[in-house]
Amino acid sequence: MDERELKPANENPWYVLMTLHGEQDGDEIDEELHEKNRRAWNAWAGQALSEDGQAKAAHSSRVDLSELQSWRKMQVEINQRYSQEMRRRNDDHFSVPELPSPTEIISFMGIHTLNSIVFTGCVFPSFAYFRKATFNADVDFNNATFNSDAYFRNAIFSEDASFHNATFSADADFSDAIFNADVNVSNATFNAVAFFHNVTFSADAYFQNTTYNSVAFFHNATFSEDAVFRNANFSVDAYFSNSNFNTVAVFSLATFNGFAKFVKTQFGRQDSETIFKVDFADSQFEKPTSFRDAVFLHTYPDLTGTLFHDKTSFTPGVDFWPKETSQSAKEAREACGIIRHLLGKQGLPEDEHFFFRREMEFAGKTGSVLQNLPYKFFWLVSDYGHSIARPLCCLLGVGLVTAMMLLAGFATQDISLDNDWRFVEPFSLTFANMFKIFGFQRSVFGFEYLQGLPMWMQFIAGVQTIAGFVFLFFLGLGLRQRFRLR
């Protein structure tokens, strides 16, 4: 159980300053009220910024520059209203703290809010500290600008949280935070390190069009619903190792300019029958990327148009890829083909052949019944050129059956070269027929002997020869794959 000391929001001087003209207490956001609150907050915040800093903050927060330059004009009003609101919202015994300085830590630590909070367009001039804060209603940081570190470690967001188009100029730390409803971080910019490790996303998480200009940490994060990183730009390293994507993960058009790590990442909930799709369509990986030990439970990733670095790694093996999938055979085949080609260029023939076998399996499901028969036969007799045992068993099985048929014929007809070898001769003839490629047939039995056989025996001899060529070919494929130079 999370043992946190919850503090009423109205005892917090920064919260009162943020809601100086009143709290949002309805189902709909009062935009006029928010504008008054934002202007008062930004006037207070602007005094800690240089002229250049004010201009940059106004641009990123999409507010008029005058808001950040109006402290002298609004100073008296803000001080008076602040004292009045602190007294009004608390009991008579409450000691009113002085108006905080914008150069100090902006501390919302441990606050407990009941109403929606709107920080849209607000500027945080110094360290914004939201550790262990509990937001029980919607919270909106759209277009907010954090000029210093933003610290949301262990915060709980019970309702929707939005950081759309927010700008984080320094480190942004959301480690161990819990989002129990939708979170929207789309179009946000992280200019320093972004920490999202051990974060729990219980609903949809939207990170599309986000820009990460430094390292992004998402390891051990849990995405219970949709996780959308479409068109995200990771300028440096991105870590998603040991994370869980339980439903949908979308990385289409995402750009990874640094090291992207997905080691031991799990795509799909193991105890669920929910169909999970991993979408990397049109993504671009410009540096080595590791998907080693990543587990794809339900579907193969959509890799349509994806560009991988030559050193991208995938782990082959039945434990890491779907045993059955409901996605289209064409899409699964394309994914396996892309991975196979990638591993082939790395000189990993065994890993390459694992995805080749999967590629052939799905190729055998894309056409008509007649078109699929060759693939089925390829699998049956050789496991798509990987097995030694299958073609060898087929070779021995066909040889034994046809040899017994010839033996019956030899027992009833006087056609043996030597009656003393009547029961051995059918097996010798079978061996010579099936290994005709080595010349045993003509050198031992001769043309006239073969022409003297009954028509049905000649037909069986022909079947043996064809079977010998076919199964020896597949046996050769298996041997070549097994002893291929690595």
What is the structure's pLDDT at 150? Answer: 96
Q: Where are the beta strands (DSSP E) in 171-262?
A: 172-173, 178-179, 183-184, 189-190, 194-195, 200-201, 205-206, 211-212, 216-217, 222-223, 227-228, 233-234, 238-239, 244-245, 248-250, 255-256, 260-261
Torsion angle of the four alpha carbons 122, 126, 127, 133, in this order, in degrees rounded to the nearest 10: -40
Distance CA 291, CA 308 (A): 12
Residue type, 444: V
Above 70 in pLDDT, residue 439? no
According to the model, what pLDDT value does residue 355 have? 93
Task: For the chain, give the percent of residues with pLDDT over 70.
Answer: 91
**Angular region, 376: left φ>0, alpha ψ -120 to 50, beta rest:** alpha
Of the candidates 152, 138, 149, the one whose C-alpha atom is nearest the C-alpha of residue 109 is 152
Q: Which of 112-126, 200-214, 235-249, 470-484 has the lowest mean pLDDT?
A: 470-484
Statement: residue 323 has pLDDT above 50: yes
- Separation of alpha carbons 149 and 146, rounded Å: 7
Q: Which residues of 39-57 are buried (b: 16+ CB within 10 A; e: fewer)?
A: bbbbbbbbbbbeeebbebb
Distances (CA, A) of 365 to 325, 328, 355: 12, 9, 16
Residue 473: pLDDT above 50? yes
User: What 3-state DSSP class applies to 129?
Assistant: strand
Confidence band (pLDDT; 50, 70, 90) for 400? confident
Question: Which of 127-131, 212-216, 258-262, 349-353 bottoms out in mean pLDDT, i.e. has the lowest?
Answer: 258-262
State pLDDT tens for residues 56-68. 999 999 999 999 9
Tell me the two tokens of residue 352.
């390459």
**What per-residue string of b and e applies to 290-327 under the rule 16 or more CB within 10 Å gives b?**
bbbbbbbbbbbbbbeebebbeebbbbbeeebbbeebeb
Lowest mean pLDDT among 126-130, 284-288, 342-346, 472-476: 284-288
Supply the pLDDT for residue 162. 96
State phi, psi for 201 to the nearest 5 degrees. Answer: -105, 100
Q: What is the pLDDT of residue 113?
A: 86
Taken in order 15, 18, 19, 21, the sign of the CA dihedral is positive
Task: State the average pLDDT over residues 219-226.
Answer: 94
Q: Highest mean pLDDT: which of 87-91, 148-152, 385-389?
A: 148-152
Count CB neighbours of 409 within 10 A. Answer: 15
Does the pLDDT at position 322 exceed 80? yes
* Mean pLDDT of all residues belonging to the chain: 87
- What ranges in 300-346 are assigned the alpha helix state H? 329-345
pLDDT at 349 over 50: yes
Give mean pLDDT, residues 125-150.
Answer: 95
CA angle 135, 139, 145 (to 5 degrees): 120
* Bridge partner list, 266: 244, 295
Mean pLDDT of 359-382: 88
Q: What is the pLDDT of residue 289?
A: 82
Taking only Cα atoms into account, the Rg of the chain, rounded to an integer number of angstroms, comes to 36
Give the Cα separation of 3 and 19 in Å (integer): 28
Q: What CA–CA distance (Å, rounded) separates 430 from 401?
A: 10
Give the residue with greater pLDDT, 460 vs 203.
203
Residue with the bigger pLDDT between 478 and 444: it is 478
Maximum distance among all alpha carbons in the chain? 125
Global confidence as pTM: 0.75
pLDDT for 412: 67
pLDDT at residue 133 is higher than 60: yes
Amino acid identity at 392 = L
pLDDT at 486: 52
Note the pLDDT of residue 1.
38
Q: Does residue 3 have a pLDDT over 50?
A: no
Question: Which pLDDT band holds residue 100 (cuts at 50, 70, 90)?
Answer: very high
Tens of pLDDT, residue by residue over 16-37, are: 999 999 998 877 888 999 999 9
Cβ neighbours of 17 (radius 10 Å): 22
For the ranges 156-170, 203-217, 322-336, the lowest mean pLDDT is seen at 322-336
Contacts of 371 (CB under 8 A, 6+ apart): none
**Does pLDDT of 418 surpass 70?**
no
Of 217, 225, 259, residue with least CA distance to 242: 217
Q: What average pLDDT score do residues 314-321 get?
A: 89
Q: Looking at per-residue confidence, does 122 or 263 come out higher?
A: 122
Average pLDDT over residues 257-269: 81
| Average pLDDT estimate for 223-244 | 92
- Measured distance CA(482)–CA(475) in Å, rounded: 11
Beta strands in 198-252 (DSSP E): 200-201, 205-206, 211-212, 216-217, 222-223, 227-228, 233-234, 238-239, 244-245, 248-250
Determine the 3-state secondary structure of 250 from DSSP: strand
Cβ atoms within 10 Å of 431's Cβ, excluding its own: 18
Which amino acid makes up residue 366?
T
So what's the pLDDT on residue 212? 97
In 3-state terms the chain splits into helix, strand, coil percentages (rounded to 5) of 40, 15, 45
Nearest to 24 by CA among 99, 136, 151, 156: 136
Structure confidence by residue, pLDDT tens digits, 167-182: 999 999 999 999 999 9
